[in-house]
Structure 1
Amino acid sequence: MRRPAFWALLVVLAGLAAAVGWHYFPRAFSIVSLDITMDRSAALAAARDIMQRDGRGPAGFRQAASFALDDDAQTFVELEGGGRDAFMRMLREGLYSAYTWRVRQFREAEANETLIRFTPDGKPYGFVERLKEDAPGAALDAAAARRIAEDGARARWGIDFAKFTPVETGQERRTGGRVDHTFTYERPSPTLNEGRYRLRLVVSGDRLTEVAHFVRIPEAFTRRYQNMRSANDAIGLGSAVSMMLLYVLGGIGVGLFLMLRRRWVIWRPAVAWGVVVGLMQALAAVNEWPLMWMSYDTALPRATFLTQQIAIVIATFLGFAVFFGLSFMAAETLTRRAFGSHPQLWRVWGRQPGSSVSILGRTAGGYLLVSAFFAYDVVLYLVATRAFGWWAPSEALLHPDVLAAHVPWFSAIANSFQAGFWEESLFRAVPLAGAALIGDRFGKRRLFLVLGFIVQAVIFGAGHAPYPTQPSYARPVELILPSIGFGLLYLYFGLLPGIILHFTFDVVWFALPIFVAKAPGIWIQQVMVVLVTLVPLWIVLSRRLQIGRWTELSSGDRNAAWQPPAAPERTESTAAIARHALSPRARTAWLAIGAISLIGCAYGTLASRDRGRLTISRTQAADIARHALEARGVTLGPQWRVLPVPDNGEGGPNEFVSDTAGEARRTELVGSYLPKQRWVVHVRTFEGDVAARAEEWEIAVRDTGEARILQHRLPEDRPGATLDENAARAAAVAALRDRTGLDLARGQAREISAKPSKLKARTDWVFTFVDVTVPALPKGEPRIEIHIAGDEAAGVGRFVHVPEDWERLQRAAVTRAVVLQIVSGLVFGGLFVTVAVLGVISWSRRRYAPRLFLIAAATILIVSVTSAVNEWPGIMAALQTALPLQLQVGGLIGLGLVGVVITASLAGLAIGALPVRLAGTGASNDNDVLRFGLVAGVFGAAVMMAANALRTPAWASAPWVDPLGTFVPFVEVALGPLAAFLMRMALVLSILVFVEVATAGWTRRRALGALVLALVGFLGAGAPVGLHVAPWVAGGAVTAAGLLLLYFSLLRADLTMTPMAIGTMMAIAELARGAQRPFPGALAGSAVAAALVLVLGWWWTHALRRARATVSATVAAEVTP
């Protein structure tokens, strides 16, 4: 490699490869040539002109713009609508503009908004104005509304109605009296095989509010495409599971653990680079914020929306920083141990190594190989698409949205750097270095390296399978040779050249839109891409200038020269922790508090409101549903699956009715227009033609045994009648009378909407009626919706219509709860991972209790797997009939096992470290620990009951019927709290130990300790329920105060009473839940669950005390001179 001839040849080959790639690129990939003459500023200006011309709302609007592709239409046309040629012809002839500028005019807290579309060359292409639901307007008949629609569309939007035929006409009467009409037109010719070019016009009152072009995509294609894509997703899922098991658990978990024990880990640079890459990903998300206003929900205050986005960015940064840091740590550590000839990664850009010819060669080689990999991709797709029929979506090289970012060049660099650095570390270095080390252990290094090569190539390629390409194995096959190339680079030269090559290769693809764009100042973005991409080369050249000559990489800069530091001597900790002993007065007080709390728990359980019961079993519900179908003349064959799911009834707008009409009125409507606890039985099939599998029945089975068919869903291409509006209305009125007892002719109901859907071989209708026999609500209406499929009354459903204003308030409340859940997840998830990592470090230093780790992890694993098997009926009911059953089952099992193993490992790691951390904290005798652990648990249970009573309104008190959906409900109830107990114990006890040590037994830094406990207690109360925040704040304050009081005056006397306290709390909660007797066997199952969790609390209290005593004795012996 040091010969000039070699580098000259490499440069020539790189140039030839670049020429090949450049020449054949348009032939290998289907490139869409677009005449984009309208830029973003022009789109915004044109939209403002139309807003002023037509008087569209809202007033005082803000604007956001995006250049978008209708991906669904493109995929359909290219796969089943005529192919790529048909897609190109569609764009060329203006049959449908799949690429459009979309300009949104919106205003915070305003439902009225307008979206205007333009073609790439700037022609107006339609709009949608959303009016407020109760905005005033005329109530025209269909003929008058059609005249307004066609006149407006023809005059202002250039619609030539000679090319269209009317196919659908629908109308809906709004709550304010306005009638909205929808007219749908279709091009008779040309067509897209089963697809159709359509046009939709909407007249709201006497105002044209929508002109929309679209392609009607057959349901059969959508389901076939989902089925086809499932193979891609399954391959990708297999890669993810393999990555988690082999690379994360094996490489990062076990690998780093073993290296820590040998003091081989250099963690600071890895953590720093993890923070850098994670921060770049977070900043890349912030960089795209100008586009996020296209999805802004105006029901949210801007502050709430921004807070949500900031919370997501922070969560992204923290998660990526930790995961990337651990990946880099494992990759560098294992490489340093396995390949002594490689340069030390964290020193390659140092003053001396950075000026070496070896580092220069690795850097230049990485750049020069980019064109070879690019040419390989081009030639492969050129051959595969023409000879083997491979498909990838057509692409437009110019993406104007790239220029919408604050700093367009940054996103391309950030995403490429993350892919290059992280993927080469985790997907290349970890498996190959791990394979080399395992091979050394067994004396077969070459064999294990070959196996490692195969594994890394398969997993890396399969990880890219979910890209939208066909066949499903296209990307895995494509990436076999690149994976081998990257692997050889790593084996011979280390991580640096592979990272540079991967990073630069991705920059070439991600930055293409920047280099084909034409805009003022775009050259600055292009120059920045080049300059930042070449940063590794600039660093090497700067080192050369510093030294003044090219140097040789010294042996001291290679991995073989690095030796772990000597083990530090163990010394007894000098930080003294004040011991807290319970005084006689405190003992008496806490015993009294415990007695009062027990009475309070009993009263709370007995006085709690009746939430209802569901006494029918799963098999009984299935039988009742079968009989209901038989009564309709439906005979189920063996291919049909009857899948009952318990429904506790909380899904309806209970809060709306309770807030606006009162709790008594809400209770009256439960079971009629508000859902009541029941079984929802799904009858589906996973066999046969994927389009035909769309057929499904949905039957509601009440506790009385009454069955009602809610819906019969038919495949869109199933032949049926084509009724006109009058005939369809007659069918709907008959169904209304037969299914609900309401007679439209006698004035018991009022029609408010009729909406048709013209399908391939039939016409479906949806009619909506208001039940006027029910006393009027202050807001909202009791409505009935009837689906007519052909001439069959396929569905009848009752519901309470929620006004738009209230529904917007609810969306804002849900978003607020999501933000709080993100914050809570960050806090508790971060703490959980932190204590687990500290457990690994403690274990590596041999200050650990491996037996407790194994017991805790095995318990969680066994209980979780048992529960998952028992919950299989509910899992089956959630599967999609459009996807292959076997792939879905395999994916769920794989992901489930990985999730359970990781969760069990994290909890076990945290628990195994507790005895060491508990050493030096307060200690009491066994009797006191058990006695006051019970007292603490009863008090905690009373606090939680009080908090729940404050934060949970009556409308949210649904019965606990979920266990009925399992094979054996008793087992589900009995085992339910066991895994949760261990995870809570691991987290809560770790937090309490941290506070105890940080405050030195509550003698210093009390404010910090109080803040931590208050935050944990407050967030532990959960997210707000519904619109009102005050009850949630009150409930959180109660739990925070309760935790502070417990720790300060009781638990810190001996933290080993915590497991007993948690077990007691959970036992009382289980008994309280079972005492409601929501289903047969609930109380017995809860009693067994309470007994088991109490036994667990008792056992773990004693186990931690014994382990703590052992650790204390061992430490004392080690430090004794």
Structure 2
Amino acid sequence: MRAHMTDTLRPRDYRFIAICALISGASLWIGVRYFYRAFPEASIDFQVTRESSQPIAERFLASHEIPISGYRHAARFQFDEDAKLFLERELGLERANAIMGREVKLWRWGHRWYRPLEREEVTVEVTPRGEIASFQHLLPEDGRGADLSAEAARSLAESFLVLEMRHSIVALEYLASQTQKRPNRTDHDFTWKYAGREYRGATYRVSVKVQGDRVDGYSEFLKVPEEWSRSYARLRSLNETTTIVDSLLFVLILLALLVTIGRRVRRKDVRWKTALVFASVALVLQFLASLNNFPLAEYGFDTKGSWGSFIGRTFLSALFSGLGLGGLILVLTAGAEPLYREAYPEHLSISRMFTWHGIRTRSFFIGSLAGITLSFFFVAYVICFYLAANRLGAWAPAEVPYTDLLNTRVPWVFVLFGGFFPAVSEEWMFRAYAIPYFRQLFRYRWLAVFLASFIWGFGHANYPNQPFFIRGIEVGIAGLVFSWAMLRFGILAPLVAHYSIDAFYSAFLFLRSDNLYLVTTGAVTAGINLIPLLVATGAYLATRAFRSEAEVSNAAEGTAPPEVEEPVAAAAAAPLPDYAPLARAAAVTALVLVAAGVGLALTAPRRFGDFRYFRVAARDAAGAAARFLTEQGFDTSGYRRATQPNERVDEVGAQYVYTSAGLAALDRIYSDPHLIPGVSWQTRFFKPLEKEEYGVATDPATGRIIAFRHLLPEEAPGADLPRERALESASGFLRDRGYDLAQYDLVETKSEKPKQRRDTQFIWEARKGTAGVVGDARVRLEAAVLGDRVGVWTQTLKIPEEWRRRREGQNLYSISVLAVRVLFILALVGLALGIVIRATRAGRLRWKLAFAVAGAAAFLQVLTAVNSVPEFLYGYDTRIDLRLFLVTLVAGAVMAVIGVGLSAALAAALVLACYPNADLVLRGDCRRVWATDAALAAVAAVGGFAILQALAAHIQARAASWALLEPIALPANLGSYIPAVTSLRDAALAALFYSALLGIAIHLWRLATRSWQRPLLAAALLVSLLPAGARRVSEVALDAGPSLLLIGFLAWLVVRYFRNNYLAYVVSAGVLATMRAAVSLQGQGNLTLTVQAWTLAAIGLGLVFYCWRRGRSAT
């Protein structure tokens, strides 16, 4: 044993230990003395705790005769983040601390009582001083109650404020009201603001809700000025843009890392066991941390779903997030470890440094000590950095001295995960991999260190610290130190430091707790890195020697030599593959299929949405919208325009009408221009950085305006019309649009007073017996008068609340389908990656060909990005500078190009791994052999899918009472400059991805030789195709039938037509996608779209004809 103990501490090591002790001691002194000056906290007076606030809430509910027996209870600490930020930035922390929790009841213990699947629930918020700050009693929409007038309800609300909540009505200024007519009662909401409680434009407000003749809601809140919120969002957009650009650099590094993995796999130089160990730890910690958040998630439980579905969703979410983060660590470790091992042979191996032998080495002792010292130094550095930065005007929101994690079952799991994941992921990526990779790329070590450090640093720019670059500089400088530590001591030193720092921050509130369990577990988990150091120290003191590093260094592990490509003589062309051409009967069958498909398609019943016609071009719709606004007296000069197709269908409401009255009634509701036109051209008129904008909906068939909305800043001036005059104005506007208001009842009125005007909103509901009523569904008209102008006009569909809740709530079926779908996809991805890795290791995968396919796919994605600029512009957020928006747009587009290219490369590689001779499709003589049958296969595929579509149309038309409604399908890529261009890109990618998917399915089917494997694959596939939105057995059955037919038809195509004809897979998928896009664009009554539709059809038919002729000429 002593033969291995060949190393001891040297004089310079003792000096190093002394220096570490001095640095740690000085850093600790700085931390204790100046931490709260650098990072001040919000002040909270915890007179009542989470537990002691619950009886206060229960007594309040008992005094109002609101029963909660038999209800589930959940609680959490909460506050208004926007109000906190506003007060801190505008008043300064000292003044804000004096206000928050006293004048402004910001901090609250939230208590919620609820029952799954029931609408009725109660929420009470108690301040840490024991005061009631808010309560809400939700009742079912059809719950019974009185029909008080607005005046009587306001009197009741004011009595509650004075007698119950001890407010002075004299100090309150009345602001807003809302009246809603329910089926069996009338509800009212009232809002006041406190005179004299204004803070730089923010007003302190109270609101009361009256349901029937009961006060069932109360809230105190700070109304933050809208302009401030927009200004702060503009400020934060600099942080977000910086982070997005940095994310692009991260993606590029990740792409390089994936290429490294591919090369190292081929050299058999990836330590998969090491990668799996780190990935497994990440998976377990994330899974446990997610489950540990269950009490916090319970507070947000959606009562539309069952308790079992909530449990299942929580468990699956924890599992899938664990798998996702574990997969990320697997990839990072697999790519970083071999490059680190090759670049730094003198340092400890990642695979062995945590073994008993590794811990007993001098390098482990020194590296761990350096890491611990570095963590102390980092805390002192950050304190000094922000003391200086704050003096120069830097700002960050105050920390809140409480976290709900203190009330979870095992809070220390969060500390472990919060230290482990960022430490491993970031150190692997930006130190172990990026530095040696950048050095290979740019030759200079200093440049490699600088780039890796500041790319890492600016990845933290999304924190709220201001100015936007301050966090990037702070972390980037720390990255330089961490990089030096890695180069000097190995990756162990920054890894230990990174874990210690993040774990300490996670456990900080634990260590300050009065609870011994929290203090102990927080200290142990935050300081867990000390355990190996203490073990190494103890072992050294016991033996006076370290173990030799020769067996655990990177040099000892070695690295596989790079492959040397030897010149290969040109190989003779491979013989043509054995292939039996299709018989004449196959051609007849294909023609019969396409004839039947076309015939059935022409005679199929109307489907929902067949009423939509985009005869009007986007430019003409924008012109009609501009003329409408001009007629209404609005000046749109200087405004930018963006127009996109828009679906105006309420999915759940449409399902209700479809189930209750069938397809004809549903089409009537969504095609009548005086009810709810189902589709539109939506045109935005906006100016960058300005709140005011216009949105106008135009009927795409007629060019008639069907809705509009005028967004006004809250400080915009305007008239203060009384309700009667506002109602007269709104009614006149609707009558001018052709509405007969005698067929509607006024059911809701809302009046509110922004700073310099009054806005009044009115909602009418169709009366029973009119065209706008189907069962209990009713069309609603909405019009709002902003100042003295109508500024809102739209239509909605109102259906029974309980029906909507049942439809939107998740149940065991929906959770099971989603779980099987995700697990099935993950299993396929895992199997696919395994196939690609094995083929790469065996050296039989032509990556150059896969990358050529990726390049073509990336080029098509670039064209699509340029073609889709109108869609991107439509989504512009006017709170941020347009130039920043364009930067994020370009960064996002580049990441999309990389993503599409990478996906295409993996798909092509998968095909080549499963079918090594699939590249024969590139040979002209092979294409000639397969071409005719590929054309026949494409014809059969198009015909078969047309038949299946016609069957779906028949089901939708004849089984409305039992079926799930298919959503409206807008014409393909209609929002782009030239829809046909993006449709061709879609078809090309479909040819690749669908043929790859079908190819791996066939490959796995052939590999599944055991009796249970094929039934399991088929069942998983079928369940994955089931609609998660179905809520009845009949809906599942009627959807499963076509899915089974689709699976069967695909299997028949493979056996009968595709077989070993690789060209048939690609051509059939491409032609089918092209023809579907052509059909969606054709028949719109728009010449431009019709030309593009026929162009797409000509391309699809031309490909079929080309294959047919090429094969026939060869014959």
Aligned 1:72-91 pairs, distance under 5 A:
72-80=82-90, 82-91=91-100
1:909 equivalent to 2:924? Answer no
Per-residue deviation at 1:200? 0.4
Contact 2:682 2:695 in 1 (8 A): no
Cα offsets for 1:527-576 (capped at 9, x unmatched): 5435645344366468769x95531442332212333469999xxxxxxx
The verdict on how the C-alpha distance between 1:330 and 1:539 changes in structure 2, with shifts beyond 3 A counting, is farther
Per-residue deviation at 1:817? 6.2
Per-residue deviation at 1:616? 0.8
Residue in structure 2 matched with residue 1114 of structure 1 by the alignment: none
Residue in structure 1 matched with residue 1041 of structure 2 by the alignment: 1034
1:664 equivalent to 2:672? Answer no
SS in 2 for 1:191: strand
Aligned equivalents of 1:217 and 1:129: distance in 2?
Answer: 25
Per-residue deviation at 1:1064? 4.6
Per-residue deviation at 1:795? 1.4
Residue in structure 1 matched with residue 641 of structure 2 by the alignment: 642
The verdict on how the C-alpha distance between 1:542 and 1:520 changes in structure 2, with shifts beyond 3 A counting, is closer
1:253 equivalent to 2:258? Answer yes
Per-residue deviation at 1:412? 1.6
Aligned counterpart for 1:398 among listed residues 402, 407, 429: 402
SS in 2 for 1:452: helix
Per-residue deviation at 1:1035? 3.0
1:8 equivalent to 2:18? Answer yes
Residue in structure 2 matched with residue 601 of structure 1 by the alignment: 597
Residue in structure 1 matched with residue 631 of structure 2 by the alignment: 631
Aligned equivalents of 1:979 and 1:83: distance in 2?
Answer: 55
The verdict on how the C-alpha distance between 1:677 and 1:144 changes in structure 2, with shifts beyond 3 A counting, is closer
The verdict on how the C-alpha distance between 1:740 and 1:961 changes in structure 2, with shifts beyond 3 A counting, is same
The verdict on how the C-alpha distance between 1:871 and 1:412 changes in structure 2, with shifts beyond 3 A counting, is same
Per-residue deviation at 1:845? 4.5
Residue in structure 2 matched with residue 617 of structure 1 by the alignment: 617
Give the stretch that moved more between structures: 486-495 or 26-35.
26-35
Contact 2:504 2:526 in 1 (8 A): no
Which letter maps to 1:102? G
Per-residue deviation at 1:1066? 3.1
Which letter maps to 2:58? R
SS in 1 for 2:95: helix
Cα offsets for 1:208-237 (capped at 9, x unmatched): 111100111121111111111100001111
Which letter maps to 1:393? P
Residue in structure 2 matched with residue 786 of structure 1 by the alignment: 783
1:770 equivalent to 2:772? Answer no
SS in 1 for 2:45: coil
Contact 2:267 2:560 in 1 (8 A): no
1:410 equivalent to 2:416? Answer no
Which letter maps to 1:655? Q
Contact 1:421 1:499 in 2 (8 A): yes
The verdict on how the C-alpha distance between 1:821 and 1:617 changes in structure 2, with shifts beyond 3 A counting, is farther
Contact 2:719 2:757 in 1 (8 A): yes
The verdict on how the C-alpha distance between 1:762 and 1:535 changes in structure 2, with shifts beyond 3 A counting, is farther
Q: RMSD of aligned C-alpha atoms?
A: 3.4
The verdict on how the C-alpha distance between 1:973 and 1:343 changes in structure 2, with shifts beyond 3 A counting, is closer
Contact 1:832 1:906 in 2 (8 A): no
**Corresponding residue pairs, total:** 1065
Per-residue deviation at 1:841? 5.7
Residue in structure 2 matched with residue 677 of structure 1 by the alignment: 679
Residue in structure 2 matched with residue 756 of structure 1 by the alignment: 751
Aligned equivalents of 1:1090 and 1:518: distance in 2?
Answer: 74
Which letter maps to 1:339? Y
Residue in structure 1 matched with residue 720 of structure 2 by the alignment: 722
Which letter maps to 1:613? Y
Per-residue deviation at 1:833? 7.0
Identity of aligned residues (%): 23
Give the stretch that moved more between structures: 487-496 or 557-566.
557-566
Residue in structure 2 matched with residue 169 of structure 1 by the alignment: 177
Per-residue deviation at 1:809? 2.2
The verdict on how the C-alpha distance between 1:423 and 1:915 changes in structure 2, with shifts beyond 3 A counting, is closer
Aligned 1:434-513 pairs, distance under 5 A:
434-438=437-441, 444=443, 447=444, 449-513=445-509
SS in 2 for 1:180: strand
1:211 equivalent to 2:215? Answer no
Cα offsets for 1:430-487 (capped at 9, x unmatched): 1112123346xxxx4xx2x111112112211111111111111120121122111111
Aligned 1:31-430 pairs, distance under 5 A:
31-56=41-66, 60-80=70-90, 82-91=91-100, 94-176=102-184, 178-245=185-252, 247-250=253-256, 252-385=257-390, 387-399=391-403, 401-430=404-433
Residue in structure 2 matched with residue 890 of structure 1 by the alignment: 887
The verdict on how the C-alpha distance between 1:529 and 1:351 changes in structure 2, with shifts beyond 3 A counting, is closer
Contact 1:785 1:796 in 2 (8 A): yes
Per-residue deviation at 1:1056? 5.9
Aligned equivalents of 1:495 and 1:190: distance in 2?
Answer: 56
Cα offsets for 1:507-528 (capped at 9, x unmatched): 1111111122234743443354
With the length of structure 1 as denominator, give the TM-score of the two structures. 0.88
Cα offsets for 1:140-170 (capped at 9, x unmatched): 1233223322333444444443442222233
Aligned equivalents of 1:913 and 1:1092: distance in 2?
Answer: 28
The verdict on how the C-alpha distance between 1:1081 and 1:730 changes in structure 2, with shifts beyond 3 A counting, is closer
Aligned equivalents of 2:743 and 2:1089: distance in 1?
Answer: 42
Aligned equivalents of 1:240 and 1:340: distance in 2?
Answer: 31
The verdict on how the C-alpha distance between 1:607 and 1:221 changes in structure 2, with shifts beyond 3 A counting, is farther
Which letter maps to 1:965? G
SS in 1 for 2:222: strand
Which letter maps to 2:693? E
Which letter maps to 1:6? F
Contact 2:31 2:383 in 1 (8 A): yes
Aligned equivalents of 1:1045 and 1:240: distance in 2?
Answer: 45
Which letter maps to 1:808? R
SS in 1 for 2:691: helix
The verdict on how the C-alpha distance between 1:1098 and 1:603 changes in structure 2, with shifts beyond 3 A counting, is closer
The verdict on how the C-alpha distance between 1:516 and 1:544 changes in structure 2, with shifts beyond 3 A counting, is same
Per-residue deviation at 1:1079? 4.5
Residue in structure 1 matched with residue 804 of structure 2 by the alignment: 807
Residue in structure 1 matched with residue 569 of structure 2 by the alignment: none
Aligned equivalents of 1:563 and 1:936: distance in 2?
Answer: 56
SS in 2 for 1:788: strand
Aligned equivalents of 1:538 and 1:1040: distance in 2?
Answer: 61
Aligned equivalents of 2:72 and 2:372: distance in 1?
Answer: 45
Per-residue deviation at 1:973? 3.6
The verdict on how the C-alpha distance between 1:469 and 1:604 changes in structure 2, with shifts beyond 3 A counting, is farther
Contact 1:169 1:183 in 2 (8 A): yes
Per-residue deviation at 1:78? 1.9
Aligned 1:803-842 pairs, distance under 5 A:
803-812=800-809, 820=817, 824=821, 827-828=824-825, 831-832=828-829, 835=832, 838-839=835-836, 842=839
> Unaligned stretches of 5+ in structure 1?
570-579, 1104-1121
Aligned equivalents of 2:675 and 2:66: distance in 1?
Answer: 37
Which letter maps to 1:875? F
Contact 1:771 1:783 in 2 (8 A): yes
Per-residue deviation at 1:907? 1.9
Per-residue deviation at 1:750? 2.4
Contact 1:259 1:265 in 2 (8 A): yes
> Unaligned stretches of 5+ in structure 2?
1-9, 565-576, 921-925, 1111-1115
The verdict on how the C-alpha distance between 1:16 and 1:950 changes in structure 2, with shifts beyond 3 A counting, is farther
Residue in structure 2 matched with residue 1108 of structure 1 by the alignment: none
Residue in structure 1 matched with residue 568 of structure 2 by the alignment: none
Per-residue deviation at 1:101? 0.4
SS in 1 for 2:210: strand
The verdict on how the C-alpha distance between 1:476 and 1:1096 changes in structure 2, with shifts beyond 3 A counting, is farther
